[in-house]
Copies of this chain bind each other. A is one copy, B any other.
Amino acid sequence: MNRIEVCYSPALFDLYKNKDAYVVVVDVLRATSSICTAFSHGVSSIIPVKTRDEAYAYKQKGFLVAAERDGIKLDFADFGNSPYNFSKENVFGKHVVYSTTNGTKTIQIAAHSKGVLIGAFSNISTLTNWIAKKNAPVIILCAGWKNKYNIEDSVFAGALTERLLATNAFYTDCDSAHAALDLWKHNKHDLRALIDICAQRERLRKNKLDDCIDFCLQLDSCNVVPIFNGTALVNAEI
C-alpha cells in the first residue's frame, strides 16, 4: 500500500517532497487542462518556463510560445492559456514553450521526485490507471493561486484521491487528502455550482476567459499522461 498526500500550495511543497514519490501537478483552471488538451491534439512536447524573459528568449529562437500572467496573454506570445488555444491545428507535431501564473512554475518545483505528472479532470481515469501500475507513493500538488489555496485544484485532488483509493493500492493518513476527498464527495454531483464560488471563476469572468470552464470540468475527455522529463513535458507511455 502506498501513501497519498495532498499539498495545497507550492509554497508548502518542501514539507511534502519525496524523491520516491510521483507528483501530480494540478492547475485545472487552466494550465493542466490545456496541457492535456495539447497532448490529446498531438503536441510533441511542452517546455514549461518560469519567467516572461525565458519565454521571450524562446520566442526569439523561433519557438511557438503560449504565455499568460493573471489570465492575460503576454504581448509577444502566440497564444495564451485557454485549452481552446491548444487545437490540433496549432500544436500537432510541435514543441510549445509554455509559461503561466501558477501551473508551469509548479511543475519545476516538483522536478526532484520519481516523476512529475500532469493531472486534470480530462485525463483523470487514464492518470489513475497509469499511477496504479507503479508501486510508489503519490503527492497531489495543487498549483493554487499565487501560493494560496484554491478550490478548483483541491476538489480535483479529492476526485483523484477517491479513484486512487478505489484501486486498493493506496491509503491516506493526510488531513489535506481527507478534506479534499470530503469536498469532492459533497460537490461532485454539482461541480459547476462549487466552481461558481471560486475566486478563479470570477477572475476568468472579468477577463472574458470563462468560456472554457465546462470544458475543464469534463471528466475523461482524453487519454494522455503528460510527464516531465526534466526539460519538457512529453507523452508517457500508457
Residues on A close to B: CB < 8 A? 8-9, 11-12, 15-16, 145-151, 154, 173-176, 178-179, 182-183, 186-187, 194, 197-200, 202
Complex CA gap A183/B187 in Å reads 11
- Residue ID in chain B nearest A149 by CB atoms: B176
Interfacial chain B residues near A16, Cβ < 8 Å: 148
Q: For the complex, what is the distance from the CA of A198 to the CA of B146, rounded to whole Å?
A: 27
Do A174 and B199 touch across chains, with their CB atoms under 8 A apart? yes
Say whether, besides A8-B149, A148-B15, A154 and B174 are in contact (CB < 8 Å). no
The oligomer's copy count stands at 2
Given contacts A16-B148, A148-B175, 4 further A-B contacts (CB under 8 A): A12-B12, A12-B148, A150-B175, A154-B175
Structural contact, A12 and B15, CB atoms closer than 8 A: no
Residue of B whose beta carbon sits closest to that of A153: B175
| A173, closest chain B residue (CB) | B199
CA distance A146 to B15 in the complex (A): 9
